[in-house]
Structure formats: C-alpha cells, structure tokens
Amino acid sequence: MDSRPIGVFDSGMGGLTVLHECLVTLPHEDFVYLGDGARLPYGPRPLVEIRRFAAEIAGYLEQQGVKLIVAACNSATAAALPDLQQLLTVPVIGVLAPEAHAAVLATRNRRIGLLATEATVASGRYPELVRALDAGAEVVSIACPRLVPLIEADGAFGEEIAVAVREYAAPLKDAGVDTVILGCTHYPLIRPVLQRVFGRGVTLVFSAEETAREVAETLERKGIENADSREGAYRFLTTGDPGLFCEMGRRFLQLPIGSAEYVEVATLEAVA
C-alpha cells in the first residue's frame, strides 16, 4: 500500500475533466491538482516555454510527495512528456497516446481529424502516435485558438461557440474524416455542439477514461496503489484566483470544490 497522492496538472481547469475520470476510476486514491491559471492559456505559447512551465509544475508536485503525475494538458503533454519522464523519479502519464490509440481503433476509413491548440498541432505528436499504430492512417490537424477562451468565458455555449466550431470543423468535414480527436481537455464541455456539427456518423474521441485506466494499471504494475477499502480525498492548487478556480472548476469537475490553495508562480520557478 502507498498512501501518497497522485499529482495532476493543467494550464487551467480543463484537466479537471481528466481528474473527474480518475476520481471515478480510483475512488480510494488521493489526488492533488494544480492549475496554472496565472499563465493560461498554454496553446498560443512557444513549445519551449510550455516545456519549461511543465517542468516547473511537475517538479513542484514531486517535491510535494506525489507518487505519480498525470499531465492532464494536451499542450504540455505534446511539448514536454519525454522530458518530464527523464527528469522526474516518479512515473509521468500524458493524455495524447490514449487518444491516438482510441482514434485508430474507432476509425473506419482511416481518416482522422484533430482539433487542438496551436501548440499541440505545432508539436506534430498526434500524427506521429497515430502513424506508429497505423502507418496508412491520415491525420488532418486544425488549430482552434478561439475555443479555450470561449469555453472559459461566461455564456460559453452561446452562438459564438457554435460559429467557431463550424469554422474549425469545415476542413475536417471536407476531408471526409470519420473520427475526430478532441485534443484539448476543455473540449468535452462543448461535446454536444461538436457532435451536432459533425453528425452522428463521426466518432468524437476524448480519452479521459483511457487515461484513468492507464493510471490504474501503472499503479498496480508498480505496486504503489492505495488500499481499496478507503475513500480518497482531493485538494486543489492554483496560480490564479482561487475563488474563480472554485467557481468555474465545478463546471469542469462536476463534483464539489470546497476551496483552492494559492501557489505563487515564483514558487514554481524556484523549483526549476
């Protein structure tokens, strides 16, 4: 038995959609989530900068005594996962590989679309992962810079979201994709809008469940799972406004958030 918590991080609140699945899959484990609200969004930033932010946060979480880290941010996973796995002594799991695997299994015509942030698209990691599984699969990648700010804003399900989704979906529909990877942890919140635009004939892939299963399998394989007779706890850290994190975070987590602790960016930078 290993009672240390599992660390989860994201640029803001989108990773709470991944944390939700981890909490459901592993109700006996403790979790600590860090959202880097002060530096949100990561998507428009250069990959080298995102890599530095991810190293700071992951290093801080390791210092907090976590036993495993989930990079619940597609941009951070795309930019930094191999570096984090080399840098840290605890296992680090990202969200890209499970989605690529799920997309290859789901597609019927081997044409896969990707909606993601600019940084994730620029990294080229999704096409690499997909083609490693199926060299004949085609990936059409579309950067969606407007979606994250709209989803985090008030009235995120209004007409402006629908207009943006139709714009970003058009080239994928023209390409005849039958599967679309939702390559950002924010996007599941607008899944109904996306499904309406693409239609029921297109499979939308978001791998929070697969990521949670990978966490569970890693804990078991390494013998660091917690006792399954207990109920786990979870706590939240943010470099942004704790009140705003709690208010908006409930929408992403779909579970209560009582409070969030403030962490200065300088504290993270000092770790690196």
As a whole number of angstroms, the distance between CA 146 and CA 160 comes to 10
- Strand runs labelled E in 29-91: 31-35, 68-71
- Is-contact 116 183, C-beta < 8 A? yes
End-to-end CA gap in the chain: 30
As a whole number of angstroms, the distance between CA 172 and CA 139 comes to 10
- Going by the DSSP 8-state scheme, the letter that residue 202 receives in this structure is S
- Going by the DSSP 8-state scheme, the letter that residue 240 receives in this structure is S
Phi then psi for residue 192, to 5 deg, are: -60, -40
Considering the candidates 22, 73, 144, 246, report the single residue annotated as catalytic: 73
Other Cβ atoms within 10 Å of 233 Cβ, number: 10
* Dihedral sign for Cα atoms in the order 236, 211, 78, 86: positive
- 22 catalytic residue (yes or no): no
Torsion of CA 48, 49, 51, 54, to 10 degrees: 180
Contacts of 191 by beta carbon, 8 Å cutoff, 6+ apart: 182, 204, 206
- 246 catalytic residue (yes or no): no
Considering the candidates 22, 144, 184, 246, report the single residue annotated as catalytic: 184
- Is-contact 201 178, C-beta < 8 A? yes
Phi then psi for residue 116, to 5 deg, are: -160, 180
Catalytic residues: 73, 184
